[in-house]
Amino acid sequence: MQLFDTPQIAMVDADVQYYPNWLGISDADAFFAQLKQNLSWSQDYIRIYGRDVKIPRLQCWMGDPAATYTYSGLQMQPVGWAEPVKQIKDYCEQVTGHSFNSVLANWYRDGQDSMGMHSDDEPELGAQPVIASVTLGEPRKFIFKHKQLGIKHEIPLAHGSLLVMRGTTQQYWQHGINKTKRVIDDRINLTFRHIFNN
């Protein structure tokens, strides 16, 4: 892991840090290959404006047994921790000083796979969640948009990078990954979080 003195991204109403070379290239390459081969990938449906829509990417929900998670009408039961994901989780916990009990893994197979604009603000994440986002593979532009002001920020998330969102970030900002017509390689993103289920 490589850390830097000034990872803070200047954004109003947000607390965001970005570590572009957090994992060394050899470690990032190895994790990328392991996750593609070993995770239980699926393509689920979510409910948008009253209709079921196939998610434009593959995903895997992983974590502690009680860490069930619901978004857009989809309830996900976690599969057990894969060893490489648990290792990355431990690294994230060292950097953030925060414990995580779950992760959403997303596999963007090409430029047509995407993530719509949203906030990670579901009740089970708590009032000010800490989200640690690790990127492996093809860099993609991560778009932030302020909910009231309309301000946008774009961060090209690099292979082996870590993005951490804290505080009021989810309250005031949405984020997402757009489609692109460019011919690009695939990308895996891991977003670690803590689920509070009573």
Chain centroid, CA 156 distance in Å:
14
pLDDT tens figures, 144-179: 999 999 999 999 999 999 999 999 999 999 999 999
So where are the chain's domains? 3-193
Query: In the prediction, which pLDDT does 52 show?
Result: 81
CB contact at 8 A, 160 and 136 = yes
d(C-alpha 169, C-alpha 98), whole Å: 16
CB contact at 8 A, 139 and 156 = yes
Q: Please determine, for residue 198, whether its predicted confidence score (pLDDT) is greater than 80.
A: no
Domain 3-193, CATH class in plain words: mainly beta
d(C-alpha 185, C-alpha 83), whole Å: 25
pTM, rounded to two decimals: 0.93
Nearest CA to 175 out of 149, 142, 147 is that of 142
- pLDDT band at 5; cut points 50, 70, 90: low
Residue 144's DSSP bridge partners are: 153, 175
